[in-house]
Chain A
Amino acid sequence: MLDLFRNIFAPPRDLILLVAAAWIGMSLTEKRAARSHAEKSLVSNLIFYGVLAYLLGGRIFYALEHLPAFTQSPLSLISPNTSAFDSWGALAAALIAGFVYGQRKGMLFWSTLDALTPFFALLAIGIGFSHLASGAAFGIETTVPWGINLWGAIRQPTQIYEIIASLVTFGVIWFRKANSKPGSDFLLFAALTSASRLVIEGFRGDSTLVLGGIRSAQVIAWLILAISLVALELLKPRVIPAEVVEKVEPVMETKRKEVKRNAPSVPTGATTTSKKTPSSKTKSVTAKRKSSKD
C-alpha cells in the first residue's frame, strides 16, 4: 500500500499532492472567511498573489544567485525544473506580496491570518503526504512494529506522524467555536504545528545538529511554541476576579433598579429587543423580603 502510494507520487509527482492540498485549503478558506470577518474575494486574491509570488520569487531569487549561468542561457528561467528554486526567496516574495496586497486593500492583520489558517493547515497535511511520497524528512532506524522500510532500513514513520499531527491540528482549527478573539485561530495553529514538530523532530533521522547533538529544528519549534502561547494568552479576554465581582455586583444591581424605575412603560403589544430576568441574587433578596413581611 505504502509502496504503491510512493510509486504513484514519486518526485516530481509529489507536487500534485501539494497542489491538491493548496486547492482544497483555498476552498475551505473561502468557506470560512466570513467567520474571521474577512472578505472572501480578498482572501482568495491574497492566496492567489501569494502563491504566484512564491513561484516567481523562488525562480527569480535562484536566477539572481546564479546570474552568470542564467545570463548564458536566459531560457532556463522558464524551465520546468523544480530544483532551480530558492525556497527562502520564494517565501520572502510571498510574504512581501501578501503584505503589500493586504495593506492596499486595508485587510485586518489578525483576521486575515485567521481566515488563512485552514489554508496553512491543509498545506501542512499536503507537505506531510509529499514527504511520505518522496521519502524526505525520514525517521531514525527503529525496531518498533510500525516502522517503515526506507533508505535500506526500518525507520520511524515520521512522515506518517507528520500527517496525523497535521490532520489533528486541522481538526482542532476547523471544529473549534467561532467566539475567539482575532488571531487566536492562527496562533493556535502555530502552537499546535510547532508542538508537533518539536515532538516528531526527535524521531527524525535527517536533523541538522548543533551544540552536542541538539536538533536545531526543535529549538526553533520550541521558540515558536513559546511565542504562540504567550501571544495566545495576551489575546484572551481578561477574567475579572471574584472579589471584584462581589464588590461591583451590588452597585450594578442598584443601577439596574434605577434604570427599571425610570424607564417609560412599554405599551401593550410592543416588543422589546431583550428581556432582562432578575438575577439569582435579586430573586433571593426578593424572597427574603417576602418572608420578612410574612
Chain B
Amino acid sequence: MQPIYRRILYGFILLAGLVWIFASVDKTGASTAGRIPAPQKGFLAPDFALKTPTGQTYTLSQLKGKAVLVNIWATWCPPCRAEMPTIQKFYQQYQSQGLVVLGVNATAQDNPLDIVPFVTQYGLTFPILLDETNDLGSKYNLRSLPSSFFVNRDGTIADVVIGGPMSDALLQTDIETILKSPAN
C-alpha cells in the first residue's frame, strides 16, 4: 500500500475510534461501579435475606452503614474449617468498630444436621445464616467454597476472596479496609 493511502487509512481508523468513544458514551451511568448489583469488586453487593437456625432473619441491605464480611462455607469443606478460627478472632477484635460477619452456610449442598455441632465446635459467635434454596449462591455466582465478600459501609464490594483458607494478613487487611470505608 502506498504510504499516503496507508496514512489516510490510519487517520480514518483513529477518527472512527473517536466517533465510537462518543457514540458508546454511557449516558445513563448504568455501568458506574457501585450501582449494579453484582458479586464483583467495586459493585453493589446483591441483596439477600436469610434466616439463622433459630429463625432470625438477616437482610444485607438493612446492614448498610456497617462493614460486612459475608463468608460462605460448608461443614465438609476443609479450607472453610481452617479459616473459621481466624474469622472468629478478627470478629471479636473488630466487632466494636462496626464489623458484622455473616457466616452463610451453603445448606443446599451441606448436611443441616452438621451445622450446629460445627458452630459449637469452633465457638463461633457471629450470625450463621442458612442458604437452603441456593438463593444467595445463585446471586453471588457461588462456584467454590469458601467464598468471602468484603462489603463496604456503602454496600459496595471491596474485595472478593474465592477459595481459602484466607491468610491472617489478607483477612485483617480487608477487614480494616471495609471498616475505614465511608458510609455514603
Contacts and interface: CB of A to CB of B under 8 A. Distances in A.
Interface size grouping (class) on chain B: 35 or more
Contacts of B170: 69, 76, 79, 81, 83-84
Contacts of B29: 209, 213
Interface in B123-174: 139, 141, 143-144, 159-164, 166-170, 172-174
A81 B168 CA distance: 11
Contacts of A80: 163
B38 interface: yes
Contacts of A10: 143-144, 162
A201 B14 contact: no
Interface residues of A, number: 53
B31 to A, nearest CB: 5
B33 interface: yes
Contacts of A226: 14
21 contacts: A12-B144, A12-B163, A69-B168, A75-B167, A76-B167, A83-B159, A84-B169, A84-B170, A140-B30, A195-B17, A199-B20, A202-B20, A202-B21, A205-B36, A206-B31, A213-B29, A221-B17, A222-B21, A233-B3, A236-B3, A239-B3
Interface string A205-227: 11111001111001101100110
Contacts, number: 144
Contacts of A84: 167, 169-170, 173
B40 interface: yes
A37 interface: no
Contacts of B21: 198, 202, 214-215, 218-219, 222
Contacts of B39: 151
